[in-house]
Structure 1
Amino acid sequence: MGNLRAVGMAGSLAVAIALAGCGPANDQASVAEVARPVEVLAVKTEPLALTSELPGRVEPMRVAEVRARVPGIVMQKRFEEGADVKAGDLLFQIDPAPLKAALSRAEGELARTQSVVLEAQARVKRYEPLVKIEAVSQQDFDSATADLRNAQATTRSAQADLQSARLNLGYASVTAPISGRVGRALVTEGALVGQGDATLMARIQQLDPVYVDFTQSAADALRLRESLKDGKLSATDNKALSIRVDGTAYERQGALMFTDVAVDRGTGQVSLRGKFANTDGVLLPGMFVRVRTPQGTDNQAILVPQRSVQRGSDGVAQVMVVGVDDRVESRNVVTGAMQGSRWQISEGLKAGDQVIVGGLTGLQPGAKVAPAQPHAQAQSPESKQ
């Protein structure tokens, strides 16, 4: 009887121990770490054409100031303000009456001097054989020859005066020196112009094509040159520019014309100029624009989506990458230029790194993750092949 009681107590103890051993195992299984699904992007290098966006202003290709070249009263204005004119179009008519009178006087003076020349020539011709036989003195012959030369010089002067009178009469019709858009008239009918100076009457600007002048920091230009020299960037022969009118979505394509050979001492900037077509006349002188200019090509550029780049409280850019054993690592990076919706990463990543681009909310370094390609990438034609 005592033996049976001992056996029963031993069995109960074994069952209790067995039950006690099962409890912790079940608790461990219930708290086993679950990998969190995230979307990752495998980093790869690609060629990237680098550009800079710089401020600029629109300038006309040519500017002509229409001025009165002769004195007189403005009789007519023959153009519409703000209209396009062609070279040679009549803009103003100055009273030609005094200029016609001056032309007539010049013609009369020329005719008088020409008659004096004829008279002097006849005297020299008559004296020439007589001086040989000493019928007239040598002094009289020399005097006749001098009178002829003086008359010929006076004639040439009269011819020049006549030519000037004709030019002045032509200047009474004020024409456009270039083709372009004429601004407002600065004088009206009845105004006296050309008295003492060449009165400004209007201004014409050629607006197709137009120039865009902009500046770049000399330090940036030097860094670009060093990068090209070190092989970090490759040079490009592309001189294409694009401009965007500030505050709008209007864009226009053009070409770089030249870079100045000197640096502004006051600002440390280098001046550049681009040329842009303007057939529709939208670009106006003085308009502020943003110029996008090529800065070379980075053949080993690394680009990641903008949403994958986060910034800490210290402002340092960071990305989350999948590290050893599928655990999250925080990686400090240096961002370059923004290209559309992607950041260029100049330091901190290399080809092959898996950058987490989806499921970042609440994700901490060291967490276990289950990486997968983004849905859009997984469904791309390349992924199906």
Structure 2
Amino acid sequence: MPVKPARAALIPLFTAVVLLAACSEPQPDEVAQPIPQVGVISVEAQHFVVTTELPGRTRAYRVAEVRPQVNGIIQKRLFEEGSEVKAGQQLYQIDAAVYEAAVKSAEATQLSASTLAERYGVLVEDRAVSRQAYDEARAAKLQADAALERARIDLRYTRVSAPISGRIGRSAVTEGALVSNGQAQPLATIQQLDPIYVDVTQPARDMLALRRDLDSGRLEKAGENAARAVLRLDDGSEYEHEGRLEFSEVSVDEGTGSVTLRAVFPNPDRILLPGMFVHAQLVAGARSDAILVPQQGVGRNPRGQAVAMLVNDDNVVEQRIIVTDRTVGNRWLVSEGLNVGDRLITEGVHMARPGMKVEPVPAENVEPVNAAGQEG
């Protein structure tokens, strides 16, 4: 029996409705989406010693140039180049023959003047000589004494001695060389290397920021540790001896805008030599309530601001802008934006979106921090 045209038109429409209803029915995979898990840590305050690492150069504690104080020919060199010498140790011998003769001549003159002064001293009492003659004899005797002392000093200066203790460098002269008093070239240079200076420079703006933190109370003084300093050598190794901060320059360099700081380090093994490049870590102060968070828990927004993803009490993700002061190892020192007890996402941050419901679990990608603020 043929189908009527009106009923035939309804059949495709009914079929489409059935298919649409079937497609709109919830599928098994879409019925219950699992809540994503994220690893979180609890933000805690801790005591943290603030340090500043600055590049610097080593400088000899004392430097003395060995110079001749009399004229003559070098007869002997009495030290080994590069060795340790003691203050007063003889280094060179200048030909002393002329100065020995000058001492003998001065002794004869002094003897004659002394004898004459003594004789006139007796005669003046008997008024056999005038008081003026006696005074002139005494003056001549004093001049002879001074001339003798000067001759003996010149003779002593033929023995060129070390003015300080330290390590002596190469000699600028050899035996047979003519040297003179007041010459421009030193015979050798002695440097005291134990202890040794380390000069570092710090931008003036960093020093101002440090002082503001101290004045505001955000940063407390480190007490005895405020003058402590440690060194890291150019090869990356840490110097075994600890030093102390001596002084900071009283003026700012106009060209660089920096201030020079000087530290003193013991150097018994002579590992540090003048002119070496080092990194000095200076203890600037301490914070009793510092907040240190792992770097993997801090990101950046399009404006370049530091942001952190947090989980609130309802297990909903929140994004918060924070202020970071510096890096400490693989952590950030946060000054604003985080509070003690906040739950910071450090694992699964790429899945977290503000307003998303999550299941927080203890993070496994963060190592514990000890009381000193270092990785444990």
TM-score range, shorter-chain basis?
A: 0.7 to 0.9
2:327 is aligned, of 338, 346, 349, to 338
What is the alpha-carbon distance in structure 2 between the residues aligned to residue 324 and residue 374 of structure 1?
A: 17
Looking at structure 2, the residues matched to 94 and 208 of structure 1 have their Cα atoms a distance apart, in angstroms, of 30
User: Separation in 1 of the partners of 2:28 and 2:139?
Assistant: 124
- State the match for 1:309 in structure 2: 298
Question: 1:377 and 1:62 mapped to 2: Cα distance?
Answer: 48
Structure 2: which amino acid aligns with 1:106?
Answer: A
Unaligned 5+ segments in structure 1 are 1-19, 128-140, 381-385
Deviations, residues 127-154 of structure 1 (Å, cap 9, x unaligned)? 2xxxxxxxxxxxxx6x622111111111
Q: Residue deviations 1:23-81, cap 9 Å, x none?
A: 96743873433111221001111121111112222111111111101110001111111
Partner of 1:297: 286
Question: Which amino acid is the alignment partner of residue 158 of structure 1?
Answer: A
Separation in structure 2 between the aligned mates of residue 35 and residue 114 of structure 1, nearest angstrom: 114
In structure 1, the partner of 2:14 is: none
Q: What is the distance in 1 between the residues matched to 2:156 and 2:121?
A: 35
Alignment pair present for 1:283 and 2:272: yes
Aligned partner of residue 326 in structure 1, secondary structure: coil
AA in 1 matched with 2:276 = M
The alignment of Structure 1 onto Structure 2 pairs a total of residues equal to: 350
Does the 8 Å CA contact 1:193/1:199 hold for their aligned counterparts?
no
Q: Deviations along 1:297-322, whole A, 9 cap, x unmatched?
A: 12221111122222345433222221
Q: 1:162-173 to 2 correspondence within 5 Å? A: 162-173=148-159
- Which SS does the other structure have where 1:69 is aligned? coil
- Distance in 2, Cα, partners of 1:220 & 1:118: 75
Query: Contact (CA 8 Å) 1:69, 1:198: kept in 2 or not?
Result: no
What's 1:350 paired with? 339
Deviates most, 291-300 or 58-67 = 291-300
What secondary structure is seen at the aligned counterpart in 2 of 1:189?
Answer: coil
Question: Secondary structure of the residue that 1:221 maps to in structure 2?
Answer: helix
In structure 1, the partner of 2:206 is 220
CA-atom RMSD in angstroms: 2.8
Contact 1:305 1:357 in 2 (8 A): yes
Q: 1:116 to 1:379 in 2, by over 3 A?
A: closer
**Normalising to structure 1: TM-score of the pair?**
0.83
Is this contact kept in 2: 1:68–1:198, CA < 8 A? no
Q: Is the 8 A contact 2:347 2:365 kept in 1?
A: no
Q: Distance in 1 between matches of 2:29 and 2:316?
A: 20
**CA distance in 2: counterparts of 1:84 and 1:290, whole angstroms:** 27
Q: Secondary structure at the match of 1:304?
A: strand
In the TM superposition, 1:30-109 aligns within 5 A as 30-109=30-109
| Structure (1 or 2) with the greater helix fraction | 1
Q: How far apart, CA to CA, are the structure 2 residues paired with 1:379 and 1:168?
A: 72
Partners of 1:157 and 1:207 lie apart in 2 by: 44
Q: Deviations over 1:311-362 (max 9, x none)?
A: 3454332222213532323322222121222111122211121111112344
Alpha-carbon deviation of 1:260?
Answer: 3.1
Cα separation, partners in 2 of 1:196 and 1:283, compared to 1, 3 Å: closer
Q: Which residue of 209, 215, 218 maps to 2:195?
A: 209
Identity of aligned residues (%): 42
Aligned 8 A contact 2:167 2:190 in 1: yes
- What amino acid does structure 2 have at the position aligned with 1:336? D
CA distance in 2, matches of 1:376, 1:307: 9
Whole-angstrom CA distance in 1 between matches of 2:108 and 2:183: 29
TM-score, structure 2 as length reference: 0.85
Q: Deviations over 1:184-240 (max 9, x none)?
A: 111111111115537511110000001112222232222222222211111222211
Rg larger in 1 or in 2? 1
SS at match of 2:130: helix
Secondary structure of the 2:242 match is: strand
Alpha carbons 1:95, 1:172 under 8 Å: kept: yes
Is the Cα contact below 8 Å between 2:308 and 2:320 reproduced in 1?
A: yes
User: What CA distance in whole angstroms lies between the structure 2 residues aligned with 1:31 and 1:295?
Assistant: 59
Aligned match of 1:273: 262
Give the aligned residue type for 1:244: R
How far the C-alpha of 1:378 sits from its partner, in A, is: 11
3-state secondary structure, aligned to 1:49 = strand
CA contact (8 A) 2:346 2:365 kept: no
Structure 2: stretches of 5+ with no match in the other structure: 1-19, 370-376
8 Å contact from structure 2 (residues 114, 141) kept in 1 = yes
CA deviation profile, 1:347-385 (whole Å, cap 9, x unmatched): 2211121111112344433433211112488999xxxxx
Letter in 2 for 1:162: L
Structure 2 counterpart of 1:365: 354
